[in-house]
Structure 1
């Protein structure tokens, strides 16, 4: 079985360590240390991919510790947690120790989890890029073919047609719209709850465009303070602030010719929004500390789980930037609104999990799939993935029964079934009368949802136009 990514947690406060462990234990192999000396000993003996360290520790500060980590294990991704809010100190610390991201206390579990997942992905990409660079330097033609083949596989995996969905899913319309807009260099805003797959759609949009051979770069705007975000996106010059010991190329420059995906754009400050607006208007960035701007050719795709028009009305988001970002807008429905997608997505995630954990092929019981469709999935596809991984790890068989589902999912599914039975029991009359009332309600719901398009309603219900018209007349449902 393939091991989970190894994460080292360093904090001298036991309760803080326990909170970190609770947040990350399902997805990673965790090592813990209460001080820098103990942590460095673990680094010498274990293959660690990411270090998460507190800033305030008795033997040395988190920044000093992470500087030693960089010297010993430069490939390890470094994250620091602190209660300090001084932006200058934040940026200085991050650059001084080569820290991947800085999280302010009190951190949110979802932000920490996303940050560590991003760090693990960066570690993997670093290793992959090193391999690609070695292969590209080789004079052997077959190695170059191998590299080109790998990149082509990435394009195929990210194709719009490969986004898992049912034939009648509302996602099909969204994918069709994005396919239409992909060839045109206009900004796209993707709305939707956390975990619905906004980054997946943004990546598919990139690979369907003429920029497919150039970089696709991702940044979570909610994961770092404003000044650090500016440095991350626009870059900085050496000496621009304390701790800026060398020039840094920002993500906009790295994405030149390609696409940048700005997730959680609604979390940015008005001051940062003004600088981003200039990038969109002028096509140029100004690195922190630079006397002159730099031209960049980047397509901006942004995403939010908030209602930006409401933030505009509240004065929390610039109206001019909103219209720049939302030249084309799509809204991704939550998983609970497309239950027909759940079995297909679940099977796809199970196949991935079996490959990742090197387990034999497995399948779901019918009761399991039904319970999954009855649950509302507030965390959407991300929560569904975690649930499936958990089930696979707990199972000793190739069939995953409903008993492996977490109590939260099972209880909610049961409550949905009880509510459904309560609705049926509330219908008046004998069996024939109840069936007619139920049929009437189904007709009304279908026509309302389809905006009284009778052709579509008849097709969905398996009726002829004449049959549908007769039923509408019978139940008095003419619009």
Structure 2
């Protein structure tokens, strides 16, 4: 049985001792019960005990139950008040409700189950009232603390995405882009960010947002190239329940969520001509209609867009609307690829290694000189994202503090062989001092047997496919490979034609 002191306390007030004792006997099953036969004794009990509920008889000499409970309401408003009476005059009930603010009205003769249920509900209501008061007080006290934490967190995020926080060398070509971006950030105009995949276009977009007057608003990013048209419209503009199969509830679009902030449209060059029209209307009017409704919603957002495509070339080819291009590109920024800023590679590699060590709980002092030399020689088609993945791979595989070249992927360990120059008749030209022949004499003198064999295989593949004019079917037949096998080996060794000489499909 629970300790009596831990149970809720109830005060029974009745001028008839026998009636009060019978009620107390039933209630003692679950409560700590006090008895008073008049208002004076009841007041003394309330002043000396922590009472949660009062069961008071209505007809008492000197002072009615309603008048006494009205007094209790003024002095101890948290106590839950219950009237018990053998009379059911409507006037008495109305007075009890209006004057005393009673919780419940019990008529005699009462049933024990009814009495216990009312008492349990009354003490539960008392506990909920106390919890509500406590939570309200905590919220009032916590509000300044929460605001302070939010401001500190916002300052940390703002510091992380400043232009000066974009990792680069002091002489990096990216410096000019960052200076240009810092100037345009304060102007509330659309910006188009151009650059190859993995160069950090979203990082630049976030820096623009946190350097703008909308920095306290929401930054919302959506990859337009990864979502089909029908889903992209719903994702951006929202929908109403029943607008299409699977729309089981209303949903706000990302444009509405970004209201007052910044909307970042990544891979904007991949959207279809049909959706270009819908997006153009929103950019022109600043309004949209969620799917499944004629309701027009206005949104005040700054639009930043990014693409790995040359949108001006796409416009000339008729694949991208010219009017949409000029809506998006009030200012255009270009992020140079990593191969055009080799001085950034060392700084980025060190930063990405430190970041990976912290995230994954590993330790590494740095890279061996051979690794950094291979890093500087690689052309990084995947840019910073490829460098990040390469470093993470090395950190996962390493058993030493210094990361060596044996941890690199084959693409970096075996640099892409130079594609032989061809004569007008398609035959490889004779080697020259500037273009040494790919013979075994030029193979590295160190490395495992497998590494040397891989180098020979890579050179044979490069020579053969170049001689075949990058005809993969012809190359596969000559080498006795399937097209799938040839494709896998080309990908493994990173053998691709120069972009300027890439064969037409």
TM-score range, shorter chain: 0.5 to 0.7
Q: 1:354 aligns with which of 354, 357, 379?
A: 357
Counterpart for residue 388 of structure 2: 385
Deviation at 1:424, TM superposition (A): 11
8 A Cα contact 1:350 1:362, kept in partner = no
Distance 1:143 1:260 in 2: 26
Determine helix, strand or coil for the equivalent of 1:382.
Answer: helix
Determine helix, strand or coil for the equivalent of 2:148.
Answer: helix
Q: 2:408 aligns with which of 405, 427, 433?
A: 405
Q: 1:139 aligns with which of 141, 148, 152?
A: 141
Mean Cα deviation higher: 153-162 or 285-294? 285-294
Deviation sequence 1:84-103 (CA, Å, 0-9, x none): xxxxxxxxxxxxxxxxxxxx
Distance 1:399 1:415 in 2: 30
Counterpart for residue 46 of structure 2: none
Determine helix, strand or coil for the equivalent of 2:415.
Answer: helix
Q: Where has structure 1 moved over 2 Å in runs of 4 or more?
A: 136-148, 413-416, 423-427
Q: Which has the larger radius of gyration?
A: 2
Please tell me whether residue 177 in structure 1 is matched to residue 162 in structure 2. no
Deviation at 1:426, TM superposition (A): 3.9
Counterpart for residue 191 of structure 2: 188
8 A Cα contact 1:187 1:301, kept in partner = yes
Determine helix, strand or coil for the equivalent of 1:184.
Answer: coil
Deviation sequence 1:332-384 (CA, Å, 0-9, x none): 11111111000001111001100011112431122211110110111111111
Distance 2:279 2:145 in 1: 43
Please tell me whether residue 207 in structure 1 is matched to residue 214 in structure 2. no
Please tell me whether residue 324 in structure 1 is matched to residue 324 in structure 2. no
8 A Cα contact 1:374 1:413, kept in partner = no
Matches within 5 A, 1:70-81: none
Matches within 5 A, 1:247-326: 247-326=250-329
Distance 1:201 1:364 in 2: 28
Distance 1:267 1:413 in 2: 30
Could you tell me the TM-score, scaled by structure 1's length? 0.57
Distance 1:327 1:378 in 2: 29
Distance 1:369 1:291 in 2: 59
Distance 1:223 1:139 in 2: 45
Counterpart for residue 118 of structure 1: none
Cα RMSD for the two superposed structures:
2.2
8 A Cα contact 1:371 1:413, kept in partner = no
Rate the CA distance shift 1:425–1:138 in 2: closer, same or farther, 3 A. farther
Deviation at 1:239, TM superposition (A): 2.0
Counterpart for residue 155 of structure 2: 152
8 A Cα contact 1:285 1:295, kept in partner = yes
Deviation at 1:145, TM superposition (A): 2.4
Determine helix, strand or coil for the equivalent of 1:291.
Answer: coil
Distance 1:259 1:300 in 2: 6
Counterpart for residue 371 of structure 2: 368
Counterpart for residue 451 of structure 1: none
Distance 1:425 1:270 in 2: 52
Deviation at 1:160, TM superposition (A): 0.7
Deviation at 1:151, TM superposition (A): 2.2
Structure 2 gaps of 5+ residues are 1-137, 420-430, 436-505
8 A Cα contact 2:198 2:384, kept in partner = yes
Structure number with the bigger relative contact order (C-alpha 8 A, sep ≥ 6) is 1
Rate the CA distance shift 1:271–1:137 in 2: closer, same or farther, 3 A. farther
